[in-house]
Amino acid sequence: MSIQWHIPPPELQGEVTWSPKAMPDVSVKTWYRVNGKLKGGKTPIIVVHGGPGCPHDYLLNWTEILPTGHPVIFYDQIGCGKSTRLPEDKYQPLWVEDTFIEELEHVVKHLVSDNDDGNPARGCILAGHSLDSQESVAAARSRIPELSSWAQKVIRECEEKDDYENEDYQKASMEFLSRFGVDFETAPEEVRSAFDQLVSVTHVYGTMWGPSEFKCTGNLASASLNSVVHKLAMPILVIYGTNDEIYASQDQMIKRWTGSRAVTRVVLEGARHLAHVDDPQVYYGAVREWLKTIG
């Protein structure tokens, strides 16, 4: 039986129209929703989804933190969900890291007033998944030996042939994701529907990551959040589970991202990649306690 989430209706939803620098003649719309009151309340939390190309729905239980007084902003990055999709090949130049950083800036500027220093990111709290592609891949591959012998054999043989469309390879990948990502048998409908779109609308994920969960062959192969994180002059909370597919790389990535800066770290025993689904009580309890420390 699947978990049931009870998500309150949004106070506000709409679209931001903008033109990406990668293709300035193209106009796109980024869809957003806001739970809680933006005006007169505490600092808003903007939830940045992953994938790339996996819509916001699987993160909707971030509304659990609404009792703290912080409004929550969700949005779908272009290429997925309720935002402009543009699946045609001619729009492939859009699917690069800079496009989505630019998009985030537009969303924040639209919904959150700029601070005096002109840095809109200082006017909100960012919640999202970390990324360091090569270390993430290495960590994920280190968990393959924990799969069934059948899945290990299929992954090895299909990778040797670059046969990622193979039905058995897809089944082996699902075994991996169910063990280290999220339990699709019990996951809420919001999580399952987001994943269904990720695997059926592949132009963003395929371009940026590639066809395999276990190796990055897209343009994110050299991606790292190092340069971005070091620019954020704000407290950092990191939450992850011991059964996360990239658990093995967490210590090293956190140290490199943050240097000597103080980091609040919460490790959830047994939780997978979507730790907020596996253990929402502890996950959001930690978020609420952390929010108290930053006002």
Residue 289's pLDDT is: 95
For residue 57, pLDDT over 70 is answered with yes
The answer on pLDDT for 126 being more than 80 is no
Mean pLDDT of 289-294: 90
> For residue 228, which of 159, 141, 131, 152 has the smallest C-alpha distance?
131
What amino acid occupies position 9? P
All domains of the chain in start order, with CATH: 12-294 (3.40.50.1820)
What does the pLDDT read at residue 2?
A: 81
Report for 166-170, 201-205, 231-235: range of highest mean pLDDT: 166-170
pLDDT reading at 247 higher than 50? yes
Q: State the average pLDDT over residues 131-148.
A: 86
Given this model, what pLDDT does residue 147 score?
97
Q: HEC states along the chain? A: CCCCCCCCCCCEEEEEEECCCCCCCCCEEEEEEEECCCCCCCCCEEEECCCCCCCHHHHHHHHHHHHHCCCEEEECCCCCCCCCCCCCHHHHHHCCHHHHHHHHHHHHHHHCCCCCCCCHHHHCEEEECCCEHHHHHHHHHCCHHHCCHHHHHHHHHHHHHCCCCCHHHHHHHHHHHHHHCCCCCCCCHHHHHHHHHHHHCCHHHHHHCCCCCCCCCCHHHHCECHHHHCCCCCCEEEEEECCCCCHHHHHHHHHHHHCCCCEEEEEECCCCCCHHHHCHHHHHHHHHHHHHHHC
pLDDT of residue 115: 39
Q: What is the pLDDT of residue 114?
A: 45
pLDDT at 130 over 90: no
Where is average pLDDT lowest: 121-125, 199-203, 280-284? 121-125
> Do residues 75 and 83 lie in contact, with contact meaning Cβ atoms separated by under 8 Å?
yes
pLDDT at 282 over 80: yes
Q: Quick one: pLDDT at residue 295?
A: 67
Q: What percentage of the chain has pLDDT greater than the value 90? A: 68
CB of 30 closer than 8 Å to CB of 75: yes
Q: Is the model's pLDDT at 1 over the cut of 80?
A: no
Q: Report pLDDT for 131.
A: 58
Residue 111 has pLDDT above 90, yes or no: yes
Closest alpha carbon to 245 in 275, 220, 218, 223: 275
Contact between 218 and 96 under an 8 Å Cβ cutoff? The reply is no
Torsion angles phi and psi, residue 93, rounded to 5:
-60, -15
pLDDT at residue 116 above 60? no
- Kindly tell me if the per-residue pLDDT of 80 is higher than 80: yes
Q: Band the pLDDT of 231: cuts 50, 70, 90.
A: low
